[in-house]
Amino acid sequence: MTSALPAHPADLAVACGAALDDLRTRTPLVQCLTNEVTTNLVANALLAVGASPAMASVPGEAEELAGAAGAVLVNLGTPGPDQRASMGATVAAASGAGVPWVLDPVAVGVLAVRTRLAGHLLAERPAVVRGNASEVRALAGFVSAGRGVDARDDVEAAADAADALARLTGGAVAVSGPVDLVSDARGQVRLAVGDPLLTAVTGAGCALGGLVAAFTAVAPARTAAVAATTALGLAAERAARGARGPASFQVGLVDELYRLTPADLAARVGTAQQVGVPA
């Protein structure tokens, strides 16, 4: 993972385009402990942007792979016994090896088992936390109106919670919604990108978590979160133009991630609203 941060807000767009180019050149291994319902879409999204997915969550094997991976995704969508048994050790192995990891706190604040698990994992300081507004509020200890995997809080209601989590982890927090929010110590970025059909496909959020992890293998947390969010959103906009419904949209989404160029990504990030970032 590179250490340089964009020196000026305008450089964020250039950094995101360069990150996609670097991702496709380096093909980092991204280990995914993820939702078993959405494994196929996550893996295909990673392949489409140039990463190499590994869906390994067997205790003993998972932590061994984490130390050799470029990045790790921990998604709490379906935390079965094997995943629960391996998550803590996998995250510890990644942290010990200096491998960035991403936490996707699915349905945290609604279901007790995963809420406790997320709290323990958070102590290992993920590079990026990616979730919807209700999940981010709950993970930060704020009152949340979530229901299952559905957010009942809007993104702006999670802005303070995102800032608090970013201070706690020292990384970035990406909040998904109609206008996405990325927060870290340097300020907030808002990204008006995406299409409503993303909410009609199982696994779009999980795929985003995987993309964030892939970008953390080649870029700092802030750049990775912005690049991944914009990549998925822009691909969704393009896929929606030719889609007949959710099924064809999902196929088109993977195609458009594959077709995405660094110049496309940089141009769209250039439209982002950045708040609190020093010039």
Query: Which structural domains are found in the chain, ordered by start?
Result: 11-272 (3.40.1190.20)
Is 203 flagged in the annotation as binding?
A: yes
The radius of gyration of the chain from alpha carbons, rounded to an integer in Å, stands at: 17
- Name the helix (H) or strand (E) containing 57: none
Confirm whether residue 55 is marked as ligand binding: yes
87 assigned to a ligand binding site: no
Q: What parts of the chain have a pLDDT lower than 50?
A: 1-5, 7, 147-151, 278-279
Give the list of residues 6+ apart from residue 139 with CB closer than 8 angstroms, or none. Answer: 105, 108, 109, 118, 119, 122, 129, 131, 161, 165
Angle ∠(61,66,71) on CA atoms, nearest 5: 145
User: Among 129, 172, 136, 166, which Cα is nearest to 151's?
Assistant: 136
pTM: 0.91
What are 254's two structure tokens?
Answer: 């993977």
Q: List Cβ neighbours of 251 (8 Å cut-off, separation of 6 or more).
A: none
CB 34 within 8 A of CB 55: yes
Q: Does the annotation flag 194 for ligand binding?
A: no
Nearest-angstrom CA–CA distance, 173 and 70: 20
- Say how far apart CA 7 and CA 77 lie, in whole Å: 36
What integer pLDDT is reported at residue 7 of this predicted model?
Answer: 44
Quote the pLDDT of residue 141: 86
The tens digit of pLDDT for each residue in 112-149 reads 888 888 988 999 999 999 999 989 998 988 755 554 44
Q: What is the DSSP letter of 185?
A: T
Q: Cα dihedral sign for 105, 181, 224, 243? A: positive
| Whether the Cβ atoms of residue 73 and residue 106 lie closer than 8 Å to each other | no
d(CA 169, CA 222): 13
**pLDDT tens readout for residues 36-66:** 899 999 999 999 999 999 998 888 888 889 9
